[in-house]
Structure 1
Amino acid sequence: MTTAAEMLQSEFASYADVVCAHATERPDDIAVVAGDRRLSYAAFDRYGDRIAAGLQRDGVQSGEAVSICGLNGWAYAVLWLGILRAGGTVAPLAQSSTPEALALMVEDCGTRLLFADQSILDTLTLPDGVTPVTLDDDTAFEAWLPEEGAEPEPVEIDPEQGFNIIYSSGTTGTPKGIVHSHQMRWRQVTAFGGLIFTPATVALLSTPLYSNTTLVSFLPCIGNGGKAVLMQKFKTTEFLELSEREKVTTAMLVPIQYKRLMAEPRFDDYDLSSYLMKFCTSAPFAAELKADILKRWPGGLVEFYGMTEGGGSCALRAHEFPDKLHTVGQPMPGHDIRLIDEQGKEVPQGEIGEIVGRSGTIMKGYHNRPEQTRDTEWYDEEGNRFIRTGDVGRFDEDGFLTLMDRRKDMIISGGFNIYPSDLEAVVIEHPEVDEVAVIGVPSEDWGETPVGVVVGPRDAEAIRDWANAKLGKTQRLAAVHIVDELPRSAIGKVLKRELRESLKLG
């Protein structure tokens, strides 16, 4: 049998096969910790076999989607393995979605089985032909499984076969299914093998298993033989306690989680010396927060900038470039990042443009949406395929990328381009402001005008006057609204469309 180490040196191997190799070589090592459950690689692998056999028993064919929807847990983790071993495509769905959106996603991916927490199943009206299986009741889940020792029929995996369908957060409308291939995921598994992810790795995962933010740590961790510690819901003290008890070496967090951790009064009381590296992605990451983490939290800090769709990614090794904390770093090796204007032409060095990228990690396309797939593509003069991010940025003279904003969030007021992030950077400096989002609203005089939405202060007019005294003439806020909290997705992105709707701002 090919060893795990040999597989990880190859251009392609299946995720299910490398897990089997780890289980054969190190059966007693822990693969997954979830609550009071600790699954060894041998147990993890056996569950993968039983799930795959159960799916085949129920008629699931190679390439067919199987959906999961629930909070992180041991059953969720083993389902990923079992579905892939059966040759299926994993379609994990956000449990925070409305019942209507979930039903649409279930229908779109074409699953015949939905593994979901009972509280979710209670709200859903499933399409005909979809069988529900309760995920968060061990007795019910075990009842669905074939008996111990069941083995699936072997399945040949094509590298270009669908590995997963990740549905977008819906921040820009109806969620789209982003299809990743086995080959793409294998490249991610092996990219940091031997560096960040090894058999000695202990990765703490506190974001949902339906999110690509989580999967870019979970899959390489397990694929390289490490231990994945799953949290059902993020809580600062629980995160810190787990970090200390499990001697965590790495974690992928989103900025709002870092912010809450660093504000935790007892943060400095915990022993975090086991940390070797921390990662961040998915939302704007303030330079001041990065600096605080570098000062108080052992281990390195890397910020990744990229999209679930793939394309090109940047990485900022904050511990190596403390003078570049305002940027998202440089293009990763093998990643081609360019900036284009509204006409699709590349912009000169130092100018602002939409970010497009290409690499070996790029989506196959949006599931069942060829036109929207084409809309997100850009081709250079040689015919190379890039993915459009919808983000606007600028490279500095050292090749570090600074993000300005989402292109759709840019405000055009009186003919001037206004970047909300510039205004947010000013408003957040006010000592009473905890969080801020700036959005554009219709204006008869200017076309659009910026409005601030803040958490923290009591006097909206005072905040507006304070900010406008520091902003340029074309940037001044027309109004400030005070809210208890900003609406966010499960991975911390501010939902500006939802904010506009809730405040009836156009």
Structure 2
Amino acid sequence: MTTLRLVPGTPDGVLAALAGLLDGSGTPFAPVPEDAVGAARVRQAAAPDEPIEDAAGVVLTTSGSSGEPKGVLLSREALIASAEATHDRLGGPGQWLLPMKPYFVGGLQILTRSLVAGTTPVVVADSFTAAARKLTGVRRYTAMVPTQLARYLDTDLDGLRLFDAIIIGGASTPEPLKARAAAAGVTAIPAYGMTETGSGCVYAGVPLDGTSIELDAGRILIKGSTLFSGYRLRPELTADVLRNGWFRTQDRGELVDGRLRVVGRVDDVVISGGVNVTLTTVQARLLEHPQVKDAAVLGVPDADWGTRVVAFVVGEPSRDELRDWISELLPRTWAPQDVVALDALPMLASGKVDRQRLLEGVR
């Protein structure tokens, strides 16, 4: 009987386990974060004492930004297919910089790409620019979440300019941030994907080779060689989202000039006072305000409204000013009933906004 092996979620620990898995000498594993909460979530979602499912290579725990974490089964073949498709899209293998945790799919796939390319990854310890200058490969790559890109544009612009390509994933990249990176001469490529797709599988709206997308009443469906095998010990949930080889995501999208545009999650449309409100559209409008540095918009259960629209904003504008700003382009009924000012949005280790912590503060 083969069971799941737990390994330290450090760059060295994950790299060693991953190297064994890819060359066939290792066994299925799950990276365990250093913090107690993260370790408990891995044990909850991965169940290491139970026999491992067929074709499993690595089990990654989803961030649980919107609810219960799940153990995602990724095969050796899916990991390699994702790495090779990424290199093909970028113009060839290169050397990678790791600025994120490797126990989430974005960080783990940086290490996979390095092993597939036969190059040595460089880990960001303190200074991003100092780490970037250690890269010696002909092609230099990295990947990060939008929050990191925004921060490094302020503090490490010289380092960002050293890269041939920077993959931006883990969350939607705001249009103002894309424009800012382009104006600074930084080659930032927005990617769409998730743990279940082996990291980003659509770059700048175009699927990687081996990946197909379809829309079913606006819901994004994905098929291809990078897809996960299922959820750890959750056959009913797996059957619900994997149908005839297609993964039914929780995201809505549209095709614009043949490119995929992600417009939000299926549950991002709420009914507030009898009106359908698209939360991601409200959030995007808030981020266009010159004094708003960051924002998140959530629906909160409310006895009077059904769902109350609440905006969490990093910036100086008042509630009335932001409601007027929203109403200039969107229906007045979409303007948030409440605006919560924060010094910074709470973030998960994966780089996503911690929606649960935000909701706990307003319920």
Q: Indicate the TM-score class for this superposition, using the shorter chain for normalisation.
A: 0.7 to 0.9
Distance 1:424 1:227, change over 3 A: same
Q: Which amino acid aligns with 1:262?
A: L
- Which runs of no fewer than 5 residues in structure 1 stay unpaired? 1-60, 113-159, 317-328, 341-346, 348-352
1:330 paired to 2:206: yes
**1:50-449 equivalence runs, <5 A:** 63-72=2-11, 74-82=12-20, 85-96=24-35, 98=37, 101-102=40-41, 104-105=43-44, 108-110=47-49, 161-193=55-87, 196=90, 201-232=94-125, 238-247=127-136, 249-264=140-155, 267-268=156-157, 270=158, 274-298=162-186, 300-310=187-197, 313-316=201-204, 329-340=205-216, 347=217, 353-377=218-242, 379=243, 384-396=244-256, 398-449=257-308
Summarize deviations over 1:183-225 as a string: whole Å, max 9, x none.
21222233245774867x2210111111111222221222121
Separation of aligned partners in 2, 1:469 and 1:194: 43
Assess if the C-alpha contact under 8 Å between 1:198 and 1:225 holds in 2. Answer: no
Distance 1:110 1:83, change over 3 A: farther
Summarize deviations over 1:422-460 as a string: whole Å, max 9, x none.
111222233332111111122444422311111122744
Summarize deviations over 1:275-294 as a string: whole Å, max 9, x none.
22221111010122122222
Separation of aligned partners in 2, 1:302 and 1:251: 10
Note the aligned Cα RMSD (angstroms): 2.8
Identity %: 28
Deviation, 1:174, is 2.5
Deviation, 1:414, is 4.0
Separation of aligned partners in 1, 2:239 and 2:36: 26
Q: Which residue among 320, 331, 338 is the counterpart of 1:472?
A: 331
Q: Secondary structure at the match of 2:339?
A: strand
Assess if the C-alpha contact under 8 Å between 1:358 and 1:385 holds in 2. Answer: yes
TM-score, scaled relative to structure 1:
0.64
Q: Secondary structure at the match of 1:389?
A: strand
Separation of aligned partners in 2, 1:100 and 1:65: 14
Summarize deviations over 1:68-110 as a string: whole Å, max 9, x none.
23443x3442233246654310201333561783473387122
Distance 1:332 1:492, change over 3 A: same
Q: Which amino acid aligns with 1:336?
A: S
Which structure has the greater CA radius of gyration?
1
Separation of aligned partners in 2, 1:437 and 1:430: 13
**1:29-48 equivalence runs, <5 A:** none
Q: Tell me which residue corresponds to 1:126.
A: none
- Using CA pairs below 8 Å that are at least 6 residues apart, which structure has the higher relative contact order? 2
**1:441-460 equivalence runs, <5 A:** 441-457=300-316, 459-460=318-319
TM-score, scaled relative to structure 2:
0.87
Separation of aligned partners in 2, 1:365 and 1:431: 43
Summarize deviations over 1:478-504 as a string: whole Å, max 9, x none.
111112221212122112222101x13
Q: Which residue among 476, 486, 496 is the counterpart of 2:345?
A: 486
Distance 1:484 1:185, change over 3 A: same
Q: Which amino acid aligns with 1:334?
A: G
Assess if the C-alpha contact under 8 Å between 2:32 and 2:42 holds in 1. Answer: no
Separation of aligned partners in 2, 1:277 and 1:165: 28
Assess if the C-alpha contact under 8 Å between 2:141 and 2:164 holds in 1. Answer: yes
Deviation, 1:227, is 2.1
| Structure with greater strand percent | 2
Separation of aligned partners in 1, 2:321 and 2:36: 37
- Which runs of no fewer than 5 residues in structure 2 stay unpaired? none
Distance 1:363 1:407, change over 3 A: same
Assess if the C-alpha contact under 8 Å between 2:63 and 2:350 holds in 1. Answer: no
Separation of aligned partners in 2, 1:272 and 1:445: 48
Q: Tell me which residue corresponds to 1:128.
A: none
Q: Which amino acid aligns with 2:235?
A: P
Distance 1:96 1:487, change over 3 A: farther
